[in-house]
Amino acid sequence: MVTNQQTPLLPLDSLQTLLIGGHLVDIMQPSGEIKGNIIVLPGWDFSRKDWCQKSSLCAQALARGYRLILPEMARSVYAAEYYLETRTDWLRYPNKIWCTDSLVPALQQRYGILLPEQKNFVLGLSTGGRGAALLSLALPELFTAAAALSGDFDQTKMPADNLMRGYYGEYSKFPERWKGVDNPVYQADKF
C-alpha cells in the first residue's frame, strides 16, 4: 500500500548503512528471529529509502522477521556491463555486476548475510523489477524466490527508450546487447 506519509515507518535503531564498493546499502534488521533476507531494488532514479518511506513493505516485512537489504541503485538498468556507448555520466551508478561481485560477496563474507543456506529473496519495482529478474538469473542457487513488479523485461520492444539506449547504444547497431544476458525475456528458459 503506497501512502503519502513522509516520516520513516521504522525506528532508526533497526537501520545500518554500509558502504560497499562505493555505494550505500541500508540493512534493516527485525527485532526477533530472522526468517530470511530480502534484497529490495528501487526503480530508476528512486532512492533506496522510498520503499520504506512511501509504502508499508518494510514495516510489514520486518514485523514478519525478514531482514531487508536496500542498495542505492540510482540510475541503474541493472546492466551486466558498461559499453563505449554507455553515457559517461551513468558510469558511476552500480550495475548487475556490482550486485553479484561486490554486494552479495561483501554481505556474505563480512556479515553472514545472503548465505546460500539462508532463505534469500529479491524484490524490485520498475527497473528494479528488471534487476530482480536479472539477479535471480545470475544467481539462481542463491534465491528462493523473486518478485519483479512492472519491470522492463524486453528492451527490444522499446528501441527508442532513452534509458536502454543510454546503456546499450542503439538497438539497430547492437542488437546482441539488447537480446543477450540483460534481456529477461530472451533468458526466460533459464528461470
| Domains of the chain listed by start with CATH number | 12-190 (3.40.50.1820)
pLDDT < 70 positions in the chain: 1-13, 151
Nearest to 130 by CA among 55, 73, 63: 73
**CA dist., res. 93 & res. 61, Å (int):** 27
Predicted TM-score (pTM) of the model is 0.89
Give the per-residue pLDDT at 152. 83
Measured in degrees and rounded to the nearest 5, phi and psi for residue 18 equal -110, 155
Q: What is the pLDDT of residue 190?
A: 87
Side chain identity at residue 171, one-letter code: Y
Whole-number pLDDT of residue 10: 39
- What is the spatial order of strands in the sheet that 66-71 belongs to? 15-20, 23-28, 66-71, 36-41, 120-125, 145-149
Per-residue model confidence (pLDDT) at position 5: 39
Quick: pLDDT tens for 64-88.
999 999 999 999 999 999 999 999 9
pLDDT in the model for residue 37 = 98
pLDDT of residue 4: 40
Q: What's the confidence (pLDDT) of residue 11?
A: 44
Q: What is the pLDDT of residue 12?
A: 41
Report pLDDT for 189: 87
